[in-house]
Amino acid sequence: MAQGRKISGGKYKFFKKKKKYELPGIERKVKLGKTKQKILRGMGGNKKTVQLSSEFVNIYNPETKKSKKAKIKNVLETPSNRFLARQNILVKSAIIETELGKAKITNRPSQEGNVQAVLLVK
């Protein structure tokens, strides 16, 4: 049945409207391109930096145990949705091609102000 309907087809009456903080936010997709960020106001006046597009990534190398900043060349594959890879959208667990080699994104770039990744070692 349609959402918000009883098995008989009647509507459920909701006892309250959603409050501002209960409403879903805008879905942000971080694209590959010149770095762009936006600062949002959160609860209690806290500030949250969200990424809109990015061209650099902080890569952690597990062999040397060091991190390095590198330029992103391309998005190779996205396990969650193959269409995101075609559009060069950066999401968690996406495999990207960088100057240092292939890397896997470990954070959620749309929620944070940067892109973190781990170098994939053969």
Is the entire prediction scored with pTM above 0.85? Answer: no
The pLDDT of residue 1 is: 52
- The mean predicted confidence, pLDDT, of the chain is 92
Q: In what order do the strands lie in the sheet with 36-41?
A: 36-41, 47-54, 30-32, 89-90
Closest by CA to 121, choosing from 77, 72, 62, 73, is: 62
Mean of the pLDDT values across residues 29-56?
93
Which domains occur in the chain, in start order?
A: 28-119 (3.10.290.70)
